[in-house]
Amino acid sequence: MGPVPRTLELFYDVLSPYSWLAFEVLCRYKNIWNISLQLQPTLIGGILRESGNQPPAMLPHKAVYLRSDLRLLSQHHQVPIHFPKDFFSVILKKGSLTAMRFLTAVKMEHPELLEKVSRELWMRVWSRAAEKAGMSMEQAQELLEWVSTPQVKNQLKETTEAACKYGAFGLPVTVAHLQDETHMLFGSDRLELLAHLLGEKWMGPVPPAVNAKL
């Protein structure tokens, strides 16, 4: 038997397009690298509040830059990101509390569906396409009811606090648990560095072994 897979936690919020990029790349690499990917639904609003940070879009030059950055990264990473028409309303007003509680519930009850449901939610917020994630109407209904219970609310709070304890000031945050050290990396643009820390090969955001088209 080979070496024990290294645990990689990915703290993410579907409100965050950069989280989507990190998510897709790590999902591609989870069967290539010797890692155990732990998806951690997190509330970006909580992270920003706790750290005193603002969403980058609040600075006008950054807001402009974000659009082209995401457009180019979308192409390069083959992730179908499209800016929502009413960006500020979607991101800043509507937020993601219910969605992230829902994913928390999915993780607690149907962890094998967490990846697909997360992707489906990103598709709805950050893309034009939306497909079904394979959850039955019944399952979805049940989970939606469960979303406002203390159990689920607390779990999301705990996960968000865990990210804060690692020093997060935004998302995505990847935490690599190596034998002697733990590394917190911020952003979807630290994955090549992550490969270096893991001693694994970086083959770009769309590694050849995987059919990456979504």
Of 10, 18, 65, 43, whose CA–CA distance to 205 is shortest? 18
Tell me how far apart the alpha carbons of residues 150 and 61 are, in angstroms, rounded to a whole number.
Answer: 40
65 touches a second copy (CB under 8 A):
yes
Which residues, 6 or more positions from 38, have their beta carbon under 8 angstroms from its beta carbon? 7, 8, 9, 10
Touching a second copy, residues 69-128 (CB under 8 A): 69, 72-73, 75-76
192 touches a second copy (CB under 8 A):
yes
49 touches a second copy (CB under 8 A):
no
> Smallest distance, Å, CB 181 to a second copy?
10
Only segment of 23-31, 35-43, 91-99, 192-200 that touches a second copy (CB under 8 A): 192-200
Among 38, 51, 78, 155, binds a second copy (CB under 8 A): 51
Tell me how far apart the alpha carbons of residues 187 and 22 are, in angstroms, rounded to a whole number.
Answer: 7
Please indicate whether residue 16 is annotated as part of the active site. yes
Residue with Cβ nearer a second copy (51 or 139) = 51
Q: Three-state SS for 64? A: helix
Catalytic residues: 16
